[in-house]
Amino acid sequence: METYSKPACAEQALHWAAIWFKQLAAFHRRNDADSDWRFSAGDVIAFLRSKRDGGAPAWKRMKIIEGLIVYRSLVQRQSVQDLLPLKFKMHEIIAIERTQREGYDSIDDVVGKINPREPDAIQEFRRAMRRDGMAYATERSYVGKLKAFMADRGLACLADFDSIGASDVGAHLTDLAVDGNVAPSTQNAAFHALLKFFTLVLKRDMGPIEAIRANKGKQIPSVLHPEEVRRVLNGLKGVHLVIAKLLYGCGMRISEAMRLRVKDLDFANRQIEIHQSKGGKSRLVPMPDHLVTPLKRWVASRAALHAGDLDEGVASVWLPYALTKKYPAAHRSLPWQYLFASPRLSKDPRTGRLHRHHLTFDTFQVHLRRAVIAAGLFKHVTSHTFRHCFATHLLWAGTDIRSIQQLLGHSDVRTTEIYTHVRNPNEKRVESPLDRLQMSAGGAAKPWIARDVTTTDLVAT
């Protein structure tokens, strides 16, 4: 999100924000003097559609969204969470309009190079996922699941899918659970990969699936005590300490932290933008005061690394969708660079271009494992444990479950409610009968049976 730390920028932004709010209010026949009118995302969408129908290009409609976000945030002092998806969607529309207006030299400009030796079904799936902006790790996983399905059902090309339906998918998922003995997450990944293939490539509904599901059971998240979190953090240094504090302080997933770009840090409003999270969602999270100074220092060091890349002519970063066509110089600008950049340049497997990518997830996990051992903990601790701790510790502190749901980016509050099953150490414990069985030197036990029941009664039964 843009920050408006300079007075001139803030004044200009507020000026246009007031103009767009006034036009929005007039469109909905509201009194523009009512500056506290709580307009909804639906109100904005209707206004944008009228502008589109009137011939306003996507870039101008983006200015309207940005202005209304500024108005909601700086004037009304209200959350802009519901407006952010409109901004992100408009980025895609801008790229599409630019593509339609200017055209591309080849399909490679849109989706990168596709291996022509792969089956046509795989090629089309890759193209569809890249146009849809899916992460490369997801693409690789989904392609693997589709290849397994094709091998299982004896499919060689896209035409073979004409007779494939829900029964085939159900049989494959059942085979995975029964014969393959796979983990529930593996079976779920196979289901979602095939669902995406049906939606993006075959463009038809998969239909209801009947399959034996791998039984996961109800899992209670592993959570550290706050003092244990402190001990683990004390065992980390440098960039890995900053990342760990982001995970615990903001409830981020490790993938979300690693994919942060410099522009996602909003120091003026003390918040962090998280884009393209699980399910393609985006959200805002508060920036912990404790992290403001460390993050500013890290941005400064990142700027120095980027300056060196510019001098050497190798400054570049991967950009989603067709943004490189809309913003040709963006991949070389500092705001778009990954915050936690790799010390080495790497080649994009889809395009063959040289970029400075973000740190790998495994690198952080290695340092975390060492810190856990140094802290003397025997619990199974991963990067995701910090996210569990974030939610659980907020719950213990009295934060309502709906607020935690929003911070975590859960679509369904039932997903968040799993943290209510983690025992709060501050609550009164149920005393175990074993602890009450305190034998005295003479062998007498501390009485613990209710007064209206005697030991004779128990023996008699």
The CATH number of residue 161's host domain is: 1.10.150.130
> What is the predicted pLDDT for the residue at 430?
74
pLDDT of residue 179: 79
Instruction: Answer with the one of 202, 235, 253 that is the final residue of a domain.
Output: 202
Give percent above pLDDT 90 in the chain. Answer: 51
Q: Is 143 helix (H, G, I), strand (E, B) or coil?
A: helix
Of 9-13, 159-163, 220-224, 355-359, give the lowest mean pLDDT range: 9-13
Of 137, 129, 51, 111, nearest in space to 86 by CA:
51
For residues 332 and 246, state if they share a domain: yes
d(CA 142, CA 239): 31
Q: Which one of 28, 278, 296, 379 is the catalytic residue?
A: 278
User: What tokens appear for 282 in the block?
Assistant: 């985006």
Catalytic residue among 253, 302, 356, 367: 253
Q: Please check whether residue 332 lies inside any domain of the structure.
A: yes
424 compared with 188, residue with greater pLDDT: 188
Whether residue 294 is found in the same domain as residue 422? yes
Q: Kindly state whether residues 36 and 162 are assigned to the same domain.
A: no
Same domain? 232 vs 286: yes
In-domain check, residue 216:
no
- Note if 240 is an active site residue: no
| Same-domain check for residues 124 and 236 | no
The model's pLDDT over 36-48, given as tens digits with 9 standing for 90+, comes to 888 999 999 999 9
Looking at the structure, do residues 292 and 405 belong to the same domain, yes or no?
Answer: yes
63 is annotated as an active-site residue: no
Over residues 427-442, mean pLDDT: 67
φ, ψ of residue 65 in degrees (nearest 5): -60, -45
Q: Answer yes or no: do 424 and 379 share one domain.
A: yes
pLDDT at 382 over 80: yes
Whether the per-residue pLDDT at 420 is higher than 90: the answer is no
Mean pLDDT (the chain) is: 85
Number of Cβ within 10 Å of residue 352's Cβ equals 10
Reported residue count of the chain is 461
Catalytic residue among 196, 358, 387, 393: 387
List, for residues 273-299, the tens digit of each pLDDT value. 998 787 778 899 999 999 999 999 999
Structure tokens, 422? 């983690």
In a domain, 319, yes or no: yes
| Closest by CA position to 20, among listed 86, 85, 81 | 86
Distances (CA, A) of 305 to 255, 256, 443: 22, 22, 72
Domain-ending residue, one of 202, 236, 271:
202
Dump pLDDT digits (tens) for 384-415. 999 999 999 999 999 999 999 999 999 889 88
Highest mean pLDDT among 75-79, 208-212, 237-241: 237-241
Concerning whether 38 is annotated as a catalytic residue, the answer is no
Domain end among 60, 82, 102: 102
Domain-embedded: residue 192: yes
Which is the catalytic residue, given 71, 248, 321, 419?
419
CATH number (domain holding residue 281): 1.10.443.10
Residue labelled with tokens 């494959």: 172
pLDDT per position as a tens digit, 250-266:
999 999 999 999 999 99
321 is catalytic: no
Residues 212-220 have a mean pLDDT of: 70
384 belongs to the catalytic site: yes
- Reply yes or no on whether the pLDDT at 8 is more than 50: no
**Looking at this protein, which amino acid is placed at residue 273?**
E
Measure the CA–CA gap between 155 and 119, rounded to whole angstroms.
10
User: For residue 212, is it within any domain?
Assistant: no
**Domain co-membership, 54 together with 191:** no
pLDDT, tens digit (0-9, with 9 covering 90-100), for 87-138: 877 876 776 666 555 444 444 554 567 888 999 999 999 988 887 778 788 8
Asked, for residue 213, whether it belongs to a domain, the answer is no
Proportion of the chain above pLDDT 70, given as a percent? 85
Dihedral sign, Cα of residue 226, residue 230, residue 235, residue 237: positive
pLDDT greater than 90 at residue 85: no
Pair 98, 197 in one domain: no
- For the full predicted model, state whether its pTM sits above 0.85: no
203 is catalytic: no
pLDDT-based confidence at 439, cuts 50/70/90? low
* pLDDT of res. 94: 76
pLDDT of residue 443: 54
Q: What does each C-alpha distance from 253 to 384, 407, 410 come to in angstroms?
A: 6, 12, 12
Asked if the model's pLDDT at residue 450 lies above 60, the reply is no
pLDDT at 325 over 60: yes
Q: In terms of domains, do 301 and 394 share one?
A: yes
pLDDT at 125: 94
Q: Closest by alpha carbon to 260, among 241, 237, 283?
A: 283
pLDDT of res. 351 = 73
* 73 vs 386, residue with greater confidence: 386
**pLDDT value for 403:** 95
Please give the single-letter amino acid code of residue 403: S
Integer Cα distance of 248 and 383 in angstroms: 9
- The alpha carbon of residue 350 and the mean position of all alpha carbons in its chain are separated, in whole angstroms, by 22
Q: Determine contact, residues 150/119, Cβ cutoff 8 Å.
A: yes
As a whole number, mean pLDDT of residues 205-216 equals 76
Residue 63 belongs to domain spanning:
7-102
Question: In angstroms, rounded to a whole number, what is the distance separating the alpha carbons of residues 318 and 276?
Answer: 14
Q: How many domains does the chain have?
A: 3
Q: Both 284 and 261 in a single domain?
A: yes
Specify the higher pLDDT residue, 30 or 341.
Answer: 341
Which of 28, 369, 384, 421 is an active site residue?
A: 384
- With a cut of 60, say whether residue 204 has pLDDT above it: yes
Q: What is the pLDDT of residue 405?
A: 94
Residue 445: inside a domain = no
Task: Kindly state whether residue 444 falls inside one of the protein's structural domains.
Answer: no
25 and 126 co-located in one domain = no
